[in-house]
Structure 1
């Protein structure tokens, strides 16, 4: 029952925002009483905390599974992008903004976990790309891994990228291409171009 509540809560939070969804909304969606929900979660803050952990765990497991398939590093980045988009909602409600504003401690903790995980993934991806001759040898790996995370965080900021003007999916596509074009070799550029053409067809 707890997993069912968590799954539905996470879905609603992503669609409507962490502040917008009430416990009454969740109870109505699940067809159960609030009392039942409170049996598993003491309060909404606890539910938000466990929902973000649930989502983060699902995404990291999915990314780890993709990495285990040993695609070339450029293909791997596009596969991860595809997976993330399939798991996050392209909505204008800005759930991350609401999380940061109304649940700052949870947001800060989540951001720290995201940075640690993403930096590790990007560093491994960069090293593999260099070894395979797809990425330039003179890259400052530590710098790029951090600037990549910084950019991914920035494109989620509605003040910089108003949702009525910028689609979240398009932003992710543009940022990934921007990132890769800055680090690829001639060999890597061909792979990147082929993937982009394939995705457009």
Structure 2
């Protein structure tokens, strides 16, 4: 039952936001009593913590599987972006904003894990790209990985990038292209242009 509650709660949180979904909503959606939910989770904060952790591990596992395919690094970043966007439902309810505002401790813990994961993935991605001659060899690898994380975090700030002007899926595409055009070689640019053109068809 605990796994079922986690799964349904995560789905609702992503669709409607962490603040918007109440324990009553969850109980009604599942056709169970609130008492059943509280038998597994002491309070909503605990439920939110476990949902975000579960989602993080799921996303991490999917990213690891994509990396294990050893695609070229440019294609790899697009595959990861597609996977994450699919499983975060395009973040249409801005759950991260609600998490930051109403569950700041959980948000900070998640952001730390996110940073550590992205550092590892992007550092590896950049190093492989340099070795393959598709990223410039004079890059400061640590700077590139950190500025990429910083950018991914910043574009989710709806005060800077309101959804009315920047739909999240398009925004992530634009940001990824912006990032890659700054680090690719002419050889890498050909690969990038091919991926962008095929995505637009």
TM-score class normalised by the smaller sequence: over 0.9
- Which residue matches 2:140? 140
Distance 1:121 1:199 in 2: 23
- Write the mapping of 1:36-75 to structure 2, written as runs, cut at 5 A: 36-75=36-75
Distance 1:61 1:160 in 2: 31
Return structure 1 stretches of 4+ with deviation > 6 angstroms. Answer: none
Deviations 1:99-128 (A, max 9, x none): 001100000000000000001100000000
Classify the secondary structure of the residue corresponding to 1:150: helix
Distance 2:120 2:90 in 1: 26
Deviations 1:134-191 (A, max 9, x none): 0000000010100000000001111101122211101100000000000000100000
Distance 1:64 1:81 in 2: 13
Unaligned runs of 5+ in 1: none
Tell whether the 8 Å contact from 1:119 to 1:146 is kept in structure 2 after alignment: yes
TM-score normalised according to structure 2 size: 0.98
Distance 2:146 2:56 in 1: 19
Classify the secondary structure of the residue corresponding to 2:90: coil
- Which residue matches 1:182? 182
Query: Deviation of residue 91 (structure 1)?
Result: 4.6
- Which residue matches 2:126? 126
Distance 2:167 2:55 in 1: 21
Distance 1:133 1:84 in 2: 27
Distance 1:104 1:186 in 2: 43
Unaligned runs of 5+ in 2: none
Distance 1:132 1:91 in 2: 34
Tell whether the 8 Å contact from 1:92 to 1:164 is kept in structure 2 after alignment: no
Tell whether the 8 Å contact from 2:118 to 2:149 is kept in structure 1 after alignment: yes
Tell whether the 8 Å contact from 2:85 to 2:91 is kept in structure 1 after alignment: no
- Write the mapping of 1:92-131 to structure 2, written as runs, cut at 5 A: 92-131=92-131
Distance 1:126 1:180 in 2: 10
TM-score normalised according to structure 1 size: 0.98
- Which residue matches 1:89? 89
Distance 2:28 2:47 in 1: 16
- Which residue matches 1:193? 193
